[in-house]
Amino acid sequence: MDFGLSAEWFLSQMAANKGFQTFVIEACSANAFVIMAETGFFALTGDHYQMTLPSNLDMGRVKQADLKLAETEDEDCLYPELLLVAMPYSQATKYQRLLRAKISGLFIGGHFYSLTKR
Protein backbone atom coordinates (compact mmCIF):
# COMPACT_ATOMS: atom_id res chain seq x y z
CA MET A 1 0.00 0.00 0.00
CA ASP A 2 1.50 3.33 -1.05
CA PHE A 3 0.50 5.94 1.53
CA GLY A 4 2.24 8.70 -0.40
CA LEU A 5 -0.08 8.19 -3.36
CA SER A 6 -3.12 7.89 -1.10
CA ALA A 7 -2.24 11.07 0.78
CA GLU A 8 -1.59 12.88 -2.50
CA TRP A 9 -4.98 11.82 -3.83
CA PHE A 10 -6.85 12.93 -0.68
CA LEU A 11 -4.99 16.27 -0.63
CA SER A 12 -5.61 16.92 -4.32
CA GLN A 13 -9.33 16.29 -3.85
CA MET A 14 -9.46 18.66 -0.92
CA ALA A 15 -7.44 21.34 -2.71
CA ALA A 16 -9.76 21.17 -5.70
CA ASN A 17 -12.70 21.80 -3.39
CA LYS A 18 -11.15 24.52 -1.23
CA GLY A 19 -10.55 22.28 1.77
CA PHE A 20 -13.95 20.59 1.86
CA GLN A 21 -14.47 17.21 0.32
CA THR A 22 -17.11 14.54 0.56
CA PHE A 23 -15.42 11.24 -0.14
CA VAL A 24 -17.20 8.19 -1.41
CA ILE A 25 -14.71 5.63 -0.20
CA GLU A 26 -14.44 2.82 -2.71
CA ALA A 27 -13.14 -0.61 -1.78
CA CYS A 28 -9.75 0.12 -3.35
CA SER A 29 -9.15 3.19 -1.17
CA ALA A 30 -10.92 2.11 2.04
CA ASN A 31 -7.90 0.22 3.40
CA ALA A 32 -5.65 3.23 2.89
CA PHE A 33 -8.20 5.55 4.50
CA VAL A 34 -8.48 3.29 7.56
CA ILE A 35 -4.70 3.15 7.99
CA MET A 36 -4.45 6.92 7.54
CA ALA A 37 -7.25 7.52 10.06
CA GLU A 38 -5.77 5.09 12.57
CA THR A 39 -2.35 6.74 12.30
CA GLY A 40 -3.75 10.24 12.80
CA PHE A 41 -4.04 11.73 9.32
CA PHE A 42 -7.83 11.86 9.73
CA ALA A 43 -9.48 12.55 13.08
CA LEU A 44 -13.04 11.52 13.82
CA THR A 45 -14.99 14.60 14.87
CA GLY A 46 -18.54 13.64 15.76
CA ASP A 47 -19.93 11.90 12.69
CA HIS A 48 -17.27 13.01 10.20
CA TYR A 49 -13.51 13.11 9.72
CA GLN A 50 -11.16 16.07 9.53
CA MET A 51 -7.74 15.85 7.95
CA THR A 52 -5.01 16.36 10.55
CA LEU A 53 -1.29 15.97 10.97
CA PRO A 54 -0.35 13.12 13.29
CA SER A 55 1.58 14.24 16.35
CA ASN A 56 3.43 11.02 17.07
CA LEU A 57 3.67 8.92 13.92
CA ASP A 58 6.11 6.06 14.11
CA MET A 59 6.40 2.55 12.71
CA GLY A 60 4.74 1.07 15.80
CA ARG A 61 1.62 3.15 15.24
CA VAL A 62 1.51 2.12 11.57
CA LYS A 63 1.87 -1.56 12.55
CA GLN A 64 -0.95 -1.22 15.11
CA ALA A 65 -3.19 0.34 12.47
CA ASP A 66 -2.36 -2.47 10.04
CA LEU A 67 -3.10 -5.11 12.69
CA LYS A 68 -6.41 -3.48 13.53
CA LEU A 69 -7.36 -3.58 9.85
CA ALA A 70 -6.20 -7.21 9.59
CA GLU A 71 -8.56 -8.13 12.46
CA THR A 72 -11.51 -7.38 10.14
CA GLU A 73 -10.45 -10.14 7.74
CA ASP A 74 -12.43 -13.31 7.27
CA GLU A 75 -11.64 -16.14 4.89
CA ASP A 76 -12.55 -13.99 1.87
CA CYS A 77 -11.42 -10.41 2.38
CA LEU A 78 -10.89 -7.40 4.64
CA TYR A 79 -13.82 -5.34 5.88
CA PRO A 80 -12.42 -1.85 6.53
CA GLU A 81 -15.92 -0.40 6.70
CA LEU A 82 -16.22 -1.98 10.16
CA LEU A 83 -13.66 0.54 11.40
CA LEU A 84 -15.19 3.62 9.76
CA VAL A 85 -17.95 6.01 10.68
CA ALA A 86 -20.08 6.78 7.67
CA MET A 87 -23.07 8.92 6.82
CA PRO A 88 -25.46 8.92 3.87
CA TYR A 89 -24.09 10.81 0.86
CA SER A 90 -26.99 13.30 0.94
CA GLN A 91 -26.21 14.15 4.56
CA ALA A 92 -22.49 14.47 3.80
CA THR A 93 -23.02 16.90 0.92
CA LYS A 94 -25.47 18.95 3.01
CA TYR A 95 -22.93 19.13 5.83
CA GLN A 96 -20.22 20.12 3.33
CA ARG A 97 -22.39 22.99 2.06
CA LEU A 98 -23.04 24.12 5.64
CA LEU A 99 -19.31 24.15 6.43
CA ARG A 100 -18.58 26.18 3.31
CA ALA A 101 -21.35 28.63 4.17
CA LYS A 102 -20.06 29.00 7.71
CA ILE A 103 -16.68 30.08 6.36
CA SER A 104 -17.64 32.03 3.26
CA GLY A 105 -21.18 33.27 3.73
CA LEU A 106 -24.57 32.74 5.31
CA PHE A 107 -27.06 29.90 5.26
CA ILE A 108 -30.59 31.13 5.95
CA GLY A 109 -33.80 29.26 5.40
CA GLY A 110 -32.23 26.67 3.12
CA HIS A 111 -30.51 29.30 0.93
CA PHE A 112 -26.87 30.32 0.77
CA TYR A 113 -25.82 33.95 0.71
CA SER A 114 -22.22 34.80 -0.03
CA LEU A 115 -20.52 37.67 1.68
CA THR A 116 -19.00 40.14 -0.73
CA LYS A 117 -17.38 43.55 -0.38
CA ARG A 118 -19.21 46.53 -1.79
Provide the pLDDT confidence category of residue 117 given band limits of 50, 70 and 90.
very low
pLDDT of residue 70: 94
Q: In the chain, how many domains are there?
A: 1
Please report whether residue 8 resides in a domain: yes
Is residue 108 one of the residues assigned to a domain?
Answer: no
Average pLDDT of the residues of the chain: 77
In a domain, 62, yes or no: yes
Q: Phi and psi dihedrals of 107, rounded to 5? A: -125, 110
Helix axes 3-16, 27-38, angle to 10 degrees: 100
Q: Is 0.85 topped by the overall pTM?
A: no
Range of the domain at 8: 3-86
Report the pLDDT averaged over residues 8-33: 71
Q: For residue 42, what are the contacts with CB-CB under 8 A and spacing of at least 6?
A: 33, 36, 49, 50, 51, 52
Residue 67 domain flag: yes
Task: Single out the residue of 37, 40, 42 nearest to residue 54, CA to CA.
Answer: 40
The predicted-structure confidence for 66-83, as pLDDT tens digits, reads as follows 999 999 999 889 998 899
50 lies in some domain: yes
Say whether pLDDT at 114 is over 60. no
Rounded CA separation 69/48 (Å): 19
110 domain residue, yes or no? no
At residue 8 the predicted structure's pLDDT band, cuts being 50, 70 and 90, is confident
Residue 38 scores a pLDDT above 60 = yes
Indicate whether 118 belongs to any domain: no
The pLDDT of residue 21: 62
